[in-house]
Structure 1
């Protein structure tokens, strides 16, 4: 197994750029939903990005085979990845982009708990457990923010927020699958292709079964799909898997605590999302918990 390093300046800069892209992701999906459903968007972007990955593999002559040792873990990672974004796509029908950004990016908490249980060198200490408790308390308070709405709005938001947390669990499962399988040492393009292919097949299949169609695309829809396909699903994920190959996964995961901040800010500025006081307090507790988890003893 490749020895992984602590974060250096290059890794921090790349992670900041990734956090900005990922923070804008839910808003990009939500902006285009009037003309193309969230599920169809995520299925199409996965197909486009998968083709871009195959083109990169061919151009760079990167070794790749569907018959090697990466097939089984690749299929498992692809399944988790697809289910994650299935939850996101349907969750955005019920909750805001700001809420989805916060709940989806609780994934680092679930990831570090998994790493704690499985890797002796990544054990959590008292301060990290305090962070975990803060994050879970924040999730509960953020959920309670929906209680300030009408009965129908409460039901809608709780469904969407719950799907956001479930998506976070699936993201953590994907990360752990990669970390504890042959994909940990695979080319980033191999890991990314399996995930994108899984999402393309499953999401597109669900969309077809539901009979979802798209209307005449607007300029916003085209820009959203370009951003989601080329920037997020292709470039940013490729960079993420490269980082996972060279740096400690727990440090990378918890560093992404900035992503919900960018996501909430984008939701408020671009979608005019309303942030309740309870949700704001809960979100701050979640972010504070992730920050605490990030402080590990050397």
Structure 2
């Protein structure tokens, strides 16, 4: 496994951009998949099964490729921390989706790039952001805020709780975004940065599977209420496509490109999420979303603006 150092990580090229757009589409569908499965599996049990299945897939993948997962390399502490943060992220996501809509969850969850950029700027010298890139983040975030501003004051479709209940769900989305950003910072600022993508992901999935399943059993959620073809397909999508394939690709990208630039592409995910929500969940769609999409794409262009030749090496 190639272990690129900070000095060889570069701004995303066309190949990385294409991969990130595909990943964002996959992640955008994830919220719909989770809500589709919530009727059959309790949230924490669903999250735990998702991580457990993906853990076995990553183990098989690493074994087939001869990638060592259990060799002592000084990453255990950072790996356990990354796994804990990963578990916290999905506790917030799965519980939050029982209190708020998929669209609102997407808005708050994908504030993560902002927190990622702040964390990397503080802890990883090679990830310093220039002024134009900070402006790009602000523009993209303004686009998201515009797209969902009307949703912040409306009742959540399909949820009978009070406005306070919705606010709690929204707050869980923000906490999930912070946990996701913290995980990225841990991966980049510790010895995990020199670890293989498979081992980095294995830490997160294995630790989160233990924590989430333990919580599900402790809270009496480890049971299946109703098994349906849709729930089965949704769980398989989450475990195989999202937690296994897409995360392996994500961590592989982190070893070769600057994380702050990659993370900003995550602003596309809520746009995909709303599109899937319109098509699959009947959520509303407005012209405001189109304006917001232009702002988000413009922000991404600014964040990925060419750097002066002297800064190309690490920024």
Same fold (TM over 0.5): yes
Do the aligned partners of residues 282 and 204 (structure 1) sit closer, same or farther apart at CA in structure 2, a change above 3 Å counting?
A: farther
Give the distance between the partners of 1:138 and 1:275, measured in 2 at CA: 15
Give the distance between the partners of 1:222 and 1:13, measured in 2 at CA: 29
Give the distance between the partners of 1:104 and 1:66, measured in 2 at CA: 34
Do the aligned partners of residues 185 and 136 (structure 1) sit closer, same or farther apart at CA in structure 2, a change above 3 Å counting?
A: same
**What does residue range 242-281 of structure 1 map to in structure 2 within 5 Å?**
242-274=252-284
Aligned to 2:96: 91
RMSD over equivalenced CA pairs, Å: 2.7
Give the distance between the partners of 1:267 and 1:291, measured in 2 at CA: 26
Do the aligned partners of residues 240 and 129 (structure 1) sit closer, same or farther apart at CA in structure 2, a change above 3 Å counting?
A: closer
Aligned to 2:80: 75
Give the distance between the partners of 1:281 and 1:164, measured in 2 at CA: 24
Aligned to 1:208: 217
Q: Choose 205-214 or 152-161, whichever is displaced more.
A: 152-161
Aligned residues: 298
Aligned to 1:106: 111
Do the aligned partners of residues 281 and 16 (structure 1) sit closer, same or farther apart at CA in structure 2, a change above 3 Å counting?
A: closer
Contact 1:254 1:291 in 2 (8 A): no
Contact 1:85 1:167 in 2 (8 A): yes
Give the distance between the partners of 2:293 and 2:111, measured in 1 at CA: 10
Give the distance between the partners of 1:203 and 1:124, measured in 2 at CA: 35
Aligned to 2:16: 11
Do the aligned partners of residues 155 and 178 (structure 1) sit closer, same or farther apart at CA in structure 2, a change above 3 Å counting?
A: same
CA drift of 1:126 comes to 3.1
Q: Choose 94-103 or 6-15, whichever is displaced more.
A: 6-15
- Deviations along 1:33-87, one digit per CA (max 9) or x if unpaired, are 1111222211101000101111122222212226431111100100011000010
Select 1:146's aligned residue among 139, 143, 152: 152
- Deviations along 1:226-248, one digit per CA (max 9) or x if unpaired, are 11111111111011111111111
- Deviations along 1:89-142, one digit per CA (max 9) or x if unpaired, are 110011111111121111111111122223444333333333444566677775
Aligned to 2:251: 241
Do the aligned partners of residues 110 and 99 (structure 1) sit closer, same or farther apart at CA in structure 2, a change above 3 Å counting?
A: same
Q: Choose 52-61 or 112-121, whichever is displaced more.
A: 112-121
Do the aligned partners of residues 78 and 204 (structure 1) sit closer, same or farther apart at CA in structure 2, a change above 3 Å counting?
A: same
Q: TM-score, normalised by structure 1?
A: 0.89
Give the distance between the partners of 1:13 and 1:227, measured in 2 at CA: 21
In structure 1, the gaps of 5 or more residues are none
Select 1:28's aligned residue among 26, 33, 38: 33
Give the distance between the partners of 2:272 and 2:256, measured in 1 at CA: 25
CA drift of 1:262 comes to 0.6
Give the distance between the partners of 2:84 and 2:125, measured in 1 at CA: 28
In structure 2, the gaps of 5 or more residues are 309-315
Give the distance between the partners of 1:287 and 1:118, measured in 2 at CA: 27
Contact 1:138 1:284 in 2 (8 A): yes
